[in-house]
Amino acid sequence: MARKATGEARARAFWVTGPRRGELRNETLPALPDGWVRVQARQSGISRGSEALVFRGEVPPSEYRRMRAPFQAGDFPAPVKYGYSNVGLVVAGPAELAGCRVYCLFPHQDLYQVPASAVMPLPDGLPAGRALLAANLETAINGLWDAAPWLGARVAVVGAGTLGCLVAWLAGRIPGCALELIDTNARRGAIAAALGVGFRAPDAATPDADLVIHASGNPAGLVTALGLAGFEATVLELSWFGASQVTLPLGEAFHQRRLRLVSSQVGSVAAAQRARWDHRRRLGLALALLAEPVAATLEVLITGEDAFDALPAVQARLAASPGDTLTHRIRYD
């Protein structure tokens, strides 16, 4: 049944201990229950937007319950063990999973155990590093299900972070779709070119879009998105602002143009697919898309790497000054 001993084991995990503070803590894993797997982490990914909000202590009390990650330990604001992009190797558990490379929505921890149903085996040929994009790609998939772009649509994606780039990469594959990825950072143009999508600065973006998807995490980006939307267009909001208040120009031409401002959030499967899809099937789709040969271009979104031991300092640095970071990889040597 098992590849290694299933008794107690020692592990280390990253915890947020207070606003802008974190540390690695030791913990003991109990004996492995039947039907569970023990996973040795190989890599984990920092989801810069949400993890920065958690690290800075900016999760609003009203969202403490809804913001919980699947295997979060502790409670907001702190101490809390938070994260949801972990790729590792099954070292103990059911025989059919022994030795499998798996993806799990687990925090940053070097050894962990979960029910076998909580891990997804990586498709053949999918590198572990690229698999770290699965959670963000799943969010992009859900957002596009909510947005429902169509053949020939003029689509603007505002915000060239990891999520915006993945949305643009997916939407740009729709036949006839005229897509622009928009960001104030001109250096993101090289990322867009690698992904095969057009890039514009906000003041050079094409107006009158049929669909605008906002993913910048900045209120100014949402203002830009509203300004680019054409008559009776939809503006889909993928950013989450935490406790921040957002002021929008909902006077001016907002009503005259009959715009629709719609929210999307990955915690619930998009309504159009909910009758037939669940979270596991949606995550499986994200992993399958990442395994396609064309998805090799997405590795440009992995913009940095550090060892697990450096994670407290890395989280502090990214929360304070992310620079050009998109997805940051943590390796477990």
Summarised one tens digit per residue, pLDDT across range 30-41 is 999 999 999 999
pLDDT score of 64 more than 50 = yes
Q: What is the mean pLDDT of residues 311-325?
A: 93
d(CA 35, CA 1) in angstroms, rounded, equals 10
pTM: 0.94
- How many other C-beta atoms can be found within 10 angstroms of the C-beta atom of residue 199? 21
4 band by pLDDT with thresholds 50, 70 and 90: low
Give me the helix-helix angle, 162-171 and 188-195, nearest 10°.
30
- How many other C-beta atoms can be found within 10 angstroms of the C-beta atom of residue 203? 8
Q: What is the mean pLDDT of residues 305-322?
A: 95
Phi, psi torsion values for 280, nearest 5 degrees: -65, -45
Q: What is the mean pLDDT of residues 41-45?
A: 98
Radius of gyration of the chain (CA): 20
Q: What is the mean pLDDT of residues 246-251?
A: 90
pLDDT score of 220 more than 50 = yes
Phi, psi torsion values for 115, nearest 5 degrees: -55, 145
Domains of the chain in sequence order: 9-135+300-331 (3.90.180.10), 149-263 (3.40.50.720)
- What was the pLDDT predicted at 3? 45
pLDDT score of 187 more than 60 = yes
2 band by pLDDT with thresholds 50, 70 and 90: very low
Angle at 147 between CA 146 and CA 149, to 5 degrees: 130
Looking at the chain, the whole-number percentage of residues with pLDDT higher than 90 is: 91
pLDDT score of 135 more than 60 = yes
Q: What is the mean pLDDT of residues 18-46?
A: 97
Mean residue pLDDT of the chain comes to 95
Sign of CA dihedral 222, 56, 143, 136: positive
pLDDT score of 70 more than 80 = yes
pLDDT score of 209 more than 50 = yes
